[in-house]
Chain A
Amino acid sequence: MPAIAIFCGLAFVLLPAFGYFPALGGTSLSVQPWRDLIAYPGLASAARATVVSAFVAMPIALGLAMLAVAWIAPSGIVRPGLPLVAGRFLSWLLATPHAAFALGLAFLVAPSGWLVRIAALALPIDTPPDLLVPHDPLGLSLAAGLVLKEMPFLFFAGLTALSQLDAPRMLSLGAGLGYQPGLAWFKLIAPRLYVLIRLPVYAALAYALSAVDMALVLGPATPPTLAVLAVNLTHDPDLARRFPAAAVALLHLLLTLAVLGTWRALEIVIARALRPMLADGVRVPAPALRWSMHVGRALALASIALGALAVLSLPLWSLAAVWRFPDAVPDCCSFAAWQRALPELWLPLRDSLTIALAATLLAMTGVIAWLQFERDLSQRMRQGGRAVAMLPLIVSDVAFLMGVQILLLGLGLGGGWLPTALSHTLFVFPYVLLTLADPWNRLDPRYERSALCLGASPLRVLLRVRLPLLMPALAFAAALGCAVSLSLYLPTVLMGGGRIATLATEAIALSSGGDRRIVGVYGTTQALVIWVGFFAAYWVQRRAARPALT
């Protein structure tokens, strides 16, 4: 199914990009959409802001995530004390949806934002400084947001992969050979860990290029990033604007491929340059390296703190009675904003939850069916199938979703609840698959064998033996699936046909209105719903019997 959706989507973005789409009046191939596009004054800066924000953000996010792993849990076990606290904060940031996070960060870094207000405690500031932050033309505020939000994701990708590396013994071996622990980690663990988290890194990179929600809140405004430009063009009441929109989407796809290709090339160059360091026998880091590791660790801590402040500023604004500039804290507390928002909050909350639950249920059923079916496949087929499932995370979603939208339009179908839920499933599926595959394959096969020998049918074995034994993993996968769906912005905007409003789309839509209290209410609600899901999963895990894994 993902393959079909992506294929159709890309096909139906390619044709209109060259002017052919009868339903919209384009009956012959032409390069007119591209002429229109090139005539658009801000195209070059839009492309530049897109690439700059991604290419500035991703190496920093990756570097900080690696340093955080090396410091918090070098051998896979979280160290007590400050590292444990930092790890808790990171999991909390990971669970915060992109839209809410971006809104919180905008509150934090705006000229009249919380950071300036905190600085005003010590400095004589009585008017907000005149800065174009967020929305700076180069996309650096967007880059900062991407760093803070992708760092926790890459951290947990690394922490999960670490269990495959026999890290405790490798590190003690390194120490036994005289290597300073930090350096031993970077020589023995980091190169192998990177190989294992390559897929999440590519997914984060693709996300950075196609983030619409974060770019609307933090990115440059006129011209916006390419992804935002494409979405804006599809909202144009003039249907003929779909042709240049398709051209932008196609350009976005090509740009994504070019960036991923460049990243891969850089990987090879850097690996070749660093390789001799593995064998140079140097056991203690040079002062410059040691110094930069300390700075990096401090930066990682600072970015966690900044992220936490950003998230905290949402509920704070939603409860603020009066918050005059430059007070560091508001007069607390007033539920006026909540009372004002609640009547309108109900509808997006309902749609968000029904779509999230439907997409998660569908994705979990699909993943369980796939994992059950996968066992009879060859290793190669299995990997191929999984790679296809990951495609929505890597391929430009701007491009293929726009294609699907144009296809629906051509078939005379509008958007709505069902296309939205189905498109969400495409993005929920890979995350559920990644979460469930490992516990699924590690379950001791003898449980099922003995149940089969007792005369139970394969279906009964699945329902009564395998799934109950995997309950903790299933609960977590379900919470993660709902979290992914509740965070999604672009699929809802493109597939909803203007009829579906979720917490994510409403929060972003309201953010341009400037009522920080109402935005705070929506952002807080979006984050709270997701956190509640994870707490429920945690509760199920605590109650379930210990998983019988080999």
Chain B
Amino acid sequence: MLELRDVAISHQGERLFTPLTCRVQPGRPVAIMGPSGAGKSSLLAWLTGMLPGGLEGEGDVLLDGVSVLSLPAHQRRLGILFQDDLLFPHMSVGENLAFGLPPGPDRPARRDRIEQALAGVELAGFANRDPMTLSGGERARVALLRVLLSEPRALLLDEPFSKLDLTLRDRFRSLVFQSATHLPVLLVSHDPQDSVTAGGDLLELRPNHGHGRIR
């Protein structure tokens, strides 16, 4: 379970939104909605330990009851999926997935694992393809596989559907939620449809109207 306690992001001492508290259970995704510029992406960046300079986070983040804030980014094991698929252009599709896969046991076993994963999303035989030759929907599925193969402890989604066209969007959205039923899933979006499909809770990111909100 992923738990956020009184979490807020601030810029020069001003909170971007009122502090947020929520619990995310596996199979019950939580969607955080808010207009652009409200601090949604900054929130996810902070959770993963990669907040850009000039911003500050507060509150606590717990995974299965243990705070992750003291861990460096690469040890938090919070998988994240961005708007862009960000497949590594210098690697083949298979190598991109192998990059996500934990090390071992040996190369044939890794290759089998990747082939199976690809077959599971109707991309059998794509391992040696160059990511540049894939369609948008195919690339999105590879990006999803890559993060799932890395065995994250929770999945964070930073508007991963917004760049896909409408028909693809629905199919990919259900694929994401189906394949991550075993994980706490936290989604930020400004598309109300995302949260409906998620079938979980919906939180509104409320801009902090205290004094002089920074845009």
Q: Which residues of A contact B (CB under 8 A)?
A: 166, 169-170, 172-181, 184, 187-188, 191-192, 195, 276, 278-283
Contact = CB atoms under 8 A, between A and B. Distances in A.
Interface residues of B, number: 33
A166 B90 CA distance: 13
B98 A178 contact: no
A283 B103 contact: yes
B80 to A, nearest CB: 5
Given A172-B50, A278-B99, A281-B103, A181 B74 contact: yes
Contact of A175 (B73, B88, B98, B147): B73
Contacts of A176: 48, 50, 73-74, 78-80, 147
Interface string B167-211: 000000000000000000000000000000000000000000000
Contacts of B100: 177, 281
A172 B46 CA distance: 11
Contacts of B99: 177, 187, 278-279, 281
Contacts of B48: 172, 175-176
B45 A172 contact: yes
Nearest to B143: A173
B69 interface: no
B56 to A, nearest CB: 16
A382 B77 CA distance: 46
Interface in B94-114: 94-95, 98-104, 107, 110
Contacts of B103: 280-283
B102 A281 contact: yes
Contacts of B55: none
Contacts of A195: 90
Interface string B54-89: 000000000000000000111101111010101011
Contacts of B45: 172
A178 B95 contact: no
B74 A279 contact: no
Contacts of B101: 281
Contacts of A178: 74-75, 77, 102, 150
B25 to A, nearest CB: 22
B28 interface: no
Contacts of A280: 98, 103
A278 B80 contact: no
Interface of B: 45, 48-50, 72-75, 77-80, 82, 84, 86, 88-91, 94-95, 98-104, 107, 110, 146-147, 150
A282 B101 CA distance: 9
Nearest to A281: B103
Contacts of B102: 178, 281, 283
B89 A192 contact: yes
B86 A169 contact: yes
Contact of B150 (A169, A177, A278, A279): A177
A146 B107 CA distance: 41
Contact of A279 (B80, B82, B84, B98): B98
Nearest to A194: B90
17 contacts: A166-B86, A172-B48, A174-B74, A175-B74, A176-B74, A176-B147, A177-B146, A184-B74, A192-B89, A192-B90, A276-B107, A278-B95, A278-B98, A279-B91, A281-B99, A281-B103, A283-B74
Nearest to A168: B52
B79 to A, nearest CB: 6
Given A173-B86, A278-B95, A278-B98, 13 more contacts: A174-B74, A175-B73, A176-B80, A177-B100, A177-B147, A192-B89, A192-B90, A278-B99, A281-B98, A281-B99, A281-B101, A281-B104, A281-B110
B102 to A, nearest CB: 5
Contacts of B147: 176-177
A160 to B, nearest CB: 19
Contacts of A174: 74
A180 B74 contact: yes
A520 to B, nearest CB: 42
A176 B91 CA distance: 18
Contacts of B88: 170, 188
Contacts of A177: 79, 99-100, 146-147, 150
